[in-house]
Amino acid sequence: MAEELGLWQIAHARPGMLAVVSPDGRETTYAELAAMTNRYARGLRSEGLATGDTVAVLLPNGVEMLALYFAALQSGLYLVPVNWHLVGPEVAYIVGDSEAKVFVAHERFADAARQAADEAGVAGERRFAVGTIEGFRGLGELAEGQPDARPEGRTAGAPMQYTSGTTGKPKGVKRPLSGGDPDEIAVRMSGFFALFGMRPFDDNVHLCGSPLYHTAVLVWASTSVHVGHPAVLMDPWRPREMLELVERYGVSQSHMVPTQFNRLLALPEDERKQYDLSSLRYMVHGAAPCPKESKRAMIDWWGPVVIDYYAATEGGGALITSEEWLRKPGSVGRAWPGSQIKVFDDEGMEVPAGEAGTVYMKMANSDFSYKGDPDKTRENRIEDFFTVGDIGYLDEDGYLFLCDRKSDMIISGGVNIYPAEIEAELQMHPAVADVAVFGIPHTDWGEEIKAVVQPSPDAEPGDELSGELLTYAGERLAKFKRPKSIDYIEEMPRDPNGKLYKRKLRDPYWAKQDTAI
């Protein structure tokens, strides 16, 4: 079976097998996807890209996104998927910081793409578009005239996803290139899928409903293709449409976030019951805490097929099956094979079971650095364990429970939002003397963004100022980063050294929720 794993091997052995279903219903076979991937890989080489160079993509879910990923994967290139909710300057920062030699964008994001390409200094001949963007070449030109056969000198590339740093500026999580055979990646990733009970082929079908620029979403979709699980792509994700696709294609596995669970549970019960969901076997969720009530409701509806896991762009991790979760409600599981989890106190000492501290993880044979930030790379480690700042504890059986978020990070709808970046923009408004941004409870999204402002002496707090500040934020920040509401305070709670006691501001909003419960 191992000799058949991987996009290119499956394309040779089973050329007519379905590989990808695009959001518009277009179906692509393994042979077609492999040929597209090979042409793109050859095209990138013809543009002068060498091993270790970077390609940035601003693309929605579609076969082009996956084909470019696989092209980079067999060309020794880094592929940087850019969040398409970002505005032009934010996209430009990532494209520039990643030192992208080629930039590919979709016409849906034309304005941001043009601004980003100009600000990042991407050469005109190395800008490509799916559709039409002024100043960009059609993506078809990259593959035009290139043979369908695999390129020479194939060597494994890797994704380089961007995650925010402590300053609010995103940092690329960069792993060293292995120099190995790209086909070996499929064999290794089939072992990762085995942790969740999934086997190659086995009549599995993957449903991808979240944006492929997310680390885990791209991992799940690309690995699915590598192990013979056709990938059905959605854009956008809609709950009723998801159920229709599950029934139509016999979907067995997906990667989801709790917000999607909430949307599904909000459907009328008679609608939920009209679809045949018997094919579901491995419905994996992560990215944000899942309310216990939602988790129980999903298990009651779908059966014991819901699997939770804990990991990050940097690595992982832990997982827990439905049966285990029902015995340990609220846990995110035990360390999976090849991974270790420890909890340390502020002095760097490991704490005993049941005691909360900062959660650290280690993955065997996996390393990374934050591109351009060696200080952050060192600061988040104890020995060879890394942390993303979450607080939690291990029980006596080794199950991990998370009891707090990263100190400030907001998770809304499974998306990480970093207040420092929002605060930096609002602080520039002349009516703002000081500002704090944090998450407050939201029944559907988990958290929504709240800004608390200490107005300048000559500014009048109230609805008019709030409208002005929200408009100001809207011009500088992606929609998902904008505060939903603003409250005012006479003076921020800071210590003599200027440290903000953000918890004093945030806790009352969460206390209201606890009281309501």
The pLDDT tens digits of the residues spanning 9-25 come to 999 999 999 999 999 99
Average pLDDT for 319-337: 95
Position 405 scores a pLDDT of: 61
pLDDT at res. 496: 46
Q: Which of 160, 159, 229 has the alpha carbon at shortest distance from 194?
A: 229
Residue 239: pLDDT above 80? yes
- What is d(CA 127, CA 89) in angstroms, rounded to the nearest whole number? 17
DSSP code for 82 = P
Q: What H or E segment, with its residue span, contains residue 242?
A: helix 239-249
Q: Are 226 and 20 in contact (CB under 8 A)?
A: no
pLDDT mean across residues, the chain: 91
What residues contact residue 426 under an 8 Å CB cut-off, 6+ apart?
A: 432, 435, 437, 451, 453, 469, 472, 473, 483
Q: Is 494 helix (H, G, I), strand (E, B) or coil?
A: strand
Distance, CA of 55 to chain centre: 18
Residue 370 binned pLDDT confidence (cut-offs 50, 70, 90): confident
The per-residue pLDDT for 389 is: 84
pLDDT value for 49:
97
> For residue 417, how many other CB atoms are within 10 A of its CB?
23
Answer whether residue 418 shows pLDDT above 80.
Answer: no
Rounded to 5 degrees, what angle do the CA atoms 103, 104, 106 make?
140
pLDDT digits (tens, 9 = 90+) for 109-127: 999 999 999 999 999 999 9
Pairwise CA distance, residues 198 & 254, whole Å: 11
Question: Which among 273, 317, 323, 277 has a CA at the least distance from the CA of 296?
Answer: 323
For residues 324-339, give the mean pLDDT: 94
Q: Are 233 and 208 in contact (CB under 8 A)?
A: yes
User: What are the chain's domains?
Assistant: 2-236 (3.40.50.12780), 335-404 (2.30.38.10), 410-516 (3.30.300.30)
Average the pLDDT over each of 199-203, 290-294, 323-327 and give the range with the smallest value.
290-294
pLDDT confidence band for 498 (50 / 70 / 90) = low
* Residue 516, pLDDT score: 47
Asked if pLDDT for residue 270 goes beyond 60, the answer is yes
pLDDT given for residue 62 in this prediction = 98
Concatenating the DSSP letter of every residue in 209-229 gives -S-TTSHHHHHHHHHHHHTT-
| Higher pLDDT, residue 496 or 50 | 50
Find, among 330, 243, 246, the residue nearest to 294 by Cα: 330
Please state, in angstroms and as integers, the Cα–Cα distance from residue 293 to each residue in 260, 270, 300, 324, following that order.
14, 20, 11, 16
Amino acid at 54: T
Which of 56-70, 347-361, 383-397 has the largest mean confidence? 56-70
Q: Which residues, 6 or more positions from 364, have their beta carbon under 8 angstroms from its beta carbon?
A: 338, 339
As given in the structure block, the two tokens for residue 195 are 């942790």
User: 333 Cβ partners below 8 Å, 6+ apart?
Assistant: 308, 309, 310, 318, 319, 320, 324, 325, 399, 400
Mean pLDDT of 202-227: 95
Residue 97 predicted with pLDDT over 90: yes
Kindly state the percentage of the chain with pLDDT values over 70.
95
Q: Which of 141-150, 244-253, 335-344, 494-503 has the lowest mean pLDDT?
A: 494-503
CA neighbor of 106 nearest in space, from 141, 59, 72, 168: 59
The answer, yes or no, to whether residue 287 has pLDDT greater than 80, is no
Instruction: Kindly state the average pLDDT of the residues 445-458.
Output: 93
**Whole-angstrom Cα distance, residue 465 to residue 487?**
11
Per-residue model confidence (pLDDT) at position 402: 85
Q: Is the pLDDT of residue 497 over 60?
A: no
| Burial profile 228-262: b = 16 or more Cβ within 10 angstroms, e = fewer | bbbbbbbbebebeebbebbeebbbbbbbbbbbbbb
Tell whether the model's pLDDT for residue 253 goes beyond 70. yes
Given a cut of 70, is residue 513 above it in pLDDT? no
Burial label, 149 (beta-carbon count in 10 A; 0-12, 13-18, 19+): exposed
Rounded CA-CA distance 308/29 in Å is: 31
pLDDT band at 377 (very low <50, low <70, confident <90, very high): confident
Judged on CB neighbours under 10 Å (0-12, 13-18, 19+), 301 is: middle
Asked if residues 23 and 234 have their Cβ atoms less than 8 Å apart, the reply is yes
- pLDDT grade for 166, boundaries at 50, 70 and 90: very low
Confidence of residue 312 (pLDDT cuts 50, 70, 90): confident
Say how far apart CA 380 and CA 279 lie, in whole Å.
41
**Predicted local confidence at residue 39, as pLDDT:** 98
With a threshold of 0.75, does the pTM exceed it?
A: yes
What integer is the mean pLDDT of 369-388?
Answer: 81
- For the record, the structure tokens of 385 come out as 């364990």
Q: What is the mean pLDDT of residues 445-457?
A: 93
Report the Cα 246 to chain-centroid distance in Å: 22
